A and B are shown apart, each in its own frame.
Chain A
């Protein structure tokens, strides 16, 4: 048989296999639901715990946003946890991310005891503190000092300190949450397309526009640019990411508590003008996209580039995208003024024990287990991190990112971004409201409903009103 005959034969066999599989096809939803637990069960079969803690018991309820990265990661770890803590009943409750953020605030505002552990976005952290919802984890960390030392050595300091209170110039304060998850706003690009056209990944915003012009090919349904530009906090983050890279911020000097709004500045103008300009080269979904929509158009190959995106590790997953090998990540661009720098907005979710939750010891055992590293003498195992990564999670622990780097360019990007990451919103309870207000103005500007100047003035006006109401100026 010649080589080409063999190829044809192999192709036929592959097609037969595909047809055979399709007969038993299950829906994507069913697949996603089952895959995390199945992955966990597979890993649990290989997992031989050093110690079994039968003395720890009770039921714990963990709330997290739904999806691969958060709730599915928890479900994937559950079978392993069950082996070490056979007398603990663990329930994972999840809601879609856009609803979950508000729901947690509502639960905590009403001092709900529904959850023992909660995974929440950093932008909500200060408001959780204002509601008195956060538990001081220092006593637990002091007791498990060896584990804490290992955690400190592996998770970058800027990510750990995001979850410390009180905030301000003298961290670390006390620890209110543990950071299992890490993220950063990065540039996402299709390496194959860039290589083919001989284009370098843009490092400044001027280059971004040039690159967008060059790769934009709407006739062939390959759009240069995609971003989460839906009104509300999504577009707020787009603007804030750009603003920080130009050296601007929402306030004149947050560190020294000068709360004068500072959107209507040169940095603000440059940032918003660039986003408006980029819209010319945007994938049609961009005008109303959240991150899910952006990830979908990355995955299906119709969008090629985004200078500022939160993205997902799943983009490098062959079951999610045909272009999984080609999606690479770099530091997001910077402006061209002296204050400009590559500053990645630090994303990430922390795990905290709500003040009103119960079963503290069991909840802490679960948090520790989820955040354990590879050291088996400290109750960890590489299989725990593998379960999280396999389910679609993205960890803050650099050791895990390094171990998976050859299969996940997303993790390589994260490791580049972590050192230059800055918090993704002002660390005040009003952060989420500010991001939403700014996002509305930005979305209207990007959709040509108002000018850049008017949008920036409106941002300042709304921020000022929010801060006045909260008594910052009195």
Chain B
């Protein structure tokens, strides 16, 4: 039987699926394309993030000495139990949280005041801003080594200035357990306060001139202006800066390692340095377990902050609508 072209077309039309069915096929095709486009990114994520994470997770349940692979074996939760039983683990957590709370607070307060100063119209403000940001770009290793020499207890520059310039007693700085952490904090604040200041400054400069003008006309000035107008308006910026600095501070490693390696004793033994020390001693399983605990700690803080940020935003919007 011969079938004309028109008939064939007709029969084909007759067999054509209904509209919703065709839409489903299109959607399937679109999904397929989407998956194919996403695949490279997912693959990269799996290789670079998921696999190491799973590998570390498995490792954290093993004794696996770097120096003797033959004796590796599973030990269940014991690495975690060992950490919780270890006074140095708790000390490192306490030091890390203290460190993060103190340096972030100092950096935020100082950074805010500096931003306020830089926010004023004055000659050379641009140059000042450019100079101000330099510490942020200095390599932490080079900076740490330089500060270590500056704080050298006998012949360092810091003690020379104290002693010769002001006639004061020399300090031990990094060499004594009571002063080492504070000295590290000074250096960290020196490096990161400018970063905080510049971000806050950007936030301040994004405030609409109408608001500033209205505040001026209402004679809202000084402390009230900043607490009632500026801080509420740049709150999201403040939260983001706090979040960035908090996470960075909890992960502090380079400066801590270069300047004190966690010492004297364990006076500056913060989380990442302690974890690296555990690795250097060859305890891969314990290292992985500690790494996971740091990850969980950081995640708790991030989630708490994002929640807080979300609540603040929501409250602001409700207030706006009312």
Whether B67 pairs with A430 at a CB distance below 8 angstroms is yes
Whether B283 pairs with A447 at a CB distance below 8 angstroms is no
* Interface: B68 (CB within 8 A): yes
B residues near A (Cβ < 8 Å) are: 63, 65-71, 75, 82, 88, 152-155, 172, 174-177, 180, 260-267, 269, 277, 279-283
Q: How far is the CA of A449 from the CA of B277 in the complex (A)?
A: 19
Contacts A285-B152, A470-B71 given; indicate if A432 touches B265 (C-beta within 8 A). Answer: no
15 examples of A-B residue contacts, CB within 8 angstroms = A109-B66, A231-B263, A285-B153, A286-B175, A287-B177, A288-B261, A429-B68, A430-B68, A433-B65, A433-B281, A436-B277, A440-B277, A447-B264, A470-B65, A471-B71
Q: Nearest Cβ distance between residue A446 and chain B, in whole angstroms?
A: 7
Q: How far is the CA of A309 from the CA of B180 in the complex (A)?
A: 25
Whether A300 pairs with B265 at a CB distance below 8 angstroms is no
A contacts with B: majority SS: helix
3 A-B pairs with least C-beta separation: A447-B265, A127-B67, A284-B153
Query: Which chain B residues border A112 with CB–CB below 8 Å?
Result: none
Contact of A131 (CB < 8 Å), options: B69, B75, B264, B283: B69
Most chain-B Cβ atoms within 10 A of its Cβ — which of A231, A285, A465? A231
Query: Which chain B residues border A331 with CB–CB below 8 Å?
Result: none
Nearest residue, chain A, Cβ from B261: A230
Query: Which chain B residues border A229 with CB–CB below 8 Å?
Result: 264
Query: Which chain A residues border B282 with CB–CB below 8 Å?
Result: 105, 127, 432-433
Whether B68 pairs with A443 at a CB distance below 8 angstroms is no
Contacts A231-B263, A449-B177 given; indicate if A436 touches B280 (C-beta within 8 A). Answer: yes
Query: Which chain B residues border A221 with CB–CB below 8 Å?
Result: 154
Nearest residue, chain B, Cβ from A286: B175
Nearest residue, chain A, Cβ from B276: A102
Whether A232 pairs with B176 at a CB distance below 8 angstroms is no
Chain A interface size, under 10 / 10 to 19 / 20 to 34 / 35 or more: 35 or more
Contact of B175 (CB < 8 Å), options: A102, A285, A470: A285
* Interface: A252 (CB within 8 A): no
Query: Which chain A residues border B88 with CB–CB below 8 Å?
Result: 440
Q: How far is the CA of A289 from the CA of B15 in the complex (A)?
A: 85
Q: Nearest Cβ distance between residue A110 and chain B, in whole angstroms?
A: 10
Whether A130 pairs with B69 at a CB distance below 8 angstroms is yes
Contacts A105-B282, A471-B71 given; indicate if A287 touches B66 (C-beta within 8 A). Answer: no
- Which A207-252 residues have C-beta < 8 A from chain B? 221, 229-232
Q: Nearest Cβ distance between residue A389 and chain B, in whole angstroms?
A: 29
Whether B281 pairs with A231 at a CB distance below 8 angstroms is no
Whether A106 pairs with B260 at a CB distance below 8 angstroms is no
* Interface: A444 (CB within 8 A): yes
Whether A432 pairs with B68 at a CB distance below 8 angstroms is no
- Which A274-318 residues have C-beta < 8 A from chain B? 283-288, 297, 300, 302
Whether B154 pairs with A283 at a CB distance below 8 angstroms is yes
Q: How far is the CA of A411 from the CA of B231 in the complex (A)?
A: 68
Nearest residue, chain A, Cβ from B71: A470
* Interface: A456 (CB within 8 A): no
Nearest residue, chain B, Cβ from A470: B71
Q: How far is the CA of A440 from the CA of B279 in the complex (A)?
A: 14
Nearest residue, chain B, Cβ from A229: B264
* Interface: A437 (CB within 8 A): yes
Most chain-B Cβ atoms within 10 A of its Cβ — which of A283, A288, A300, A433? A288
* Interface: A377 (CB within 8 A): no
Contacts A130-B67, A131-B69 given; indicate if A447 touches B177 (C-beta within 8 A). Answer: yes
Whether A130 pairs with B266 at a CB distance below 8 angstroms is no
Whether B280 pairs with A284 at a CB distance below 8 angstroms is no
* Interface: A469 (CB within 8 A): yes
Contacts A221-B154, A285-B152, A443-B264 given; indicate if A429 touches B174 (C-beta within 8 A). Answer: no
- Which A94-136 residues have C-beta < 8 A from chain B? 102, 105-106, 109, 124, 127, 130-131
Whether B174 pairs with A437 at a CB distance below 8 angstroms is no
Q: How far is the CA of A152 from the CA of B72 in the complex (A)?
A: 38
Query: Which chain A residues border B266 with CB–CB below 8 Å?
Result: 231, 440, 443-444, 449
Whether B176 pairs with A287 at a CB distance below 8 angstroms is yes
Whether A231 pairs with B265 at a CB distance below 8 angstroms is yes
Whether A433 pairs with B265 at a CB distance below 8 angstroms is no
Q: With A230-B264, A443-B266 given, can you name 4 additional A-B contacts, CB distance below 8 Å? A: A284-B176, A288-B264, A469-B71, A471-B71
Query: Which chain A residues border B67 with CB–CB below 8 Å?
Result: 105, 109, 124, 127, 130-131, 429-430, 432-433
Q: How far is the CA of A471 from the CA of B63 in the complex (A)?
A: 11
Query: Which chain B residues border A288 with CB–CB below 8 Å?
Result: 174-175, 180, 260-261, 263-264
Q: Nearest Cβ distance between residue A417 and chain B, in whole angstroms?
A: 27
Whether A105 pairs with B263 at a CB distance below 8 angstroms is no
Query: Which chain A residues border B68 with CB–CB below 8 Å?
Result: 127, 130-131, 429-430, 470
A388-428 interface mask toward B, CB cutoff 8 Å, 1 = contact, 0 = none? Answer: 00000000000000000000000000000000000000000
Query: Which chain A residues border B263 with CB–CB below 8 Å?
Result: 230-231, 287-288, 443, 447
Q: How far is the CA of A436 from the CA of B88 in the complex (A)?
A: 14
Q: Nearest Cβ distance between residue A172 and chain B, in whole angstroms?
A: 23
Whether A284 pairs with B277 at a CB distance below 8 angstroms is no
Q: How far is the CA of A414 from the CA of B264 in the complex (A)?
A: 30
Nearest residue, chain A, Cβ from B70: A130
Query: Which chain B residues border A465 with CB–CB below 8 Å?
Result: 82
Query: Which chain B residues border A297 with CB–CB below 8 Å?
Result: 154
Q: Nearest Cβ distance between residue A228 and chain B, in whole angstroms?
A: 11
Q: Nearest Cβ distance between residue B105 and chain A, in whole angstroms?
A: 26
Query: Which chain A residues border B176 with CB–CB below 8 Å?
Result: 284, 287
Whether B277 pairs with A287 at a CB distance below 8 angstroms is no
Query: Which chain A residues border B70 with CB–CB below 8 Å?
Result: 130
Q: How far is the CA of A471 from the CA of B269 in the complex (A)?
A: 30
Query: Which chain B residues border A285 with CB–CB below 8 Å?
Result: 152-154, 175
Query: Which chain A residues border B267 with CB–CB below 8 Å?
Result: 447, 449
Nearest residue, chain A, Cβ from B262: A231
Q: Nearest Cβ distance between residue B248 and chain A, in whole angstroms?
A: 23
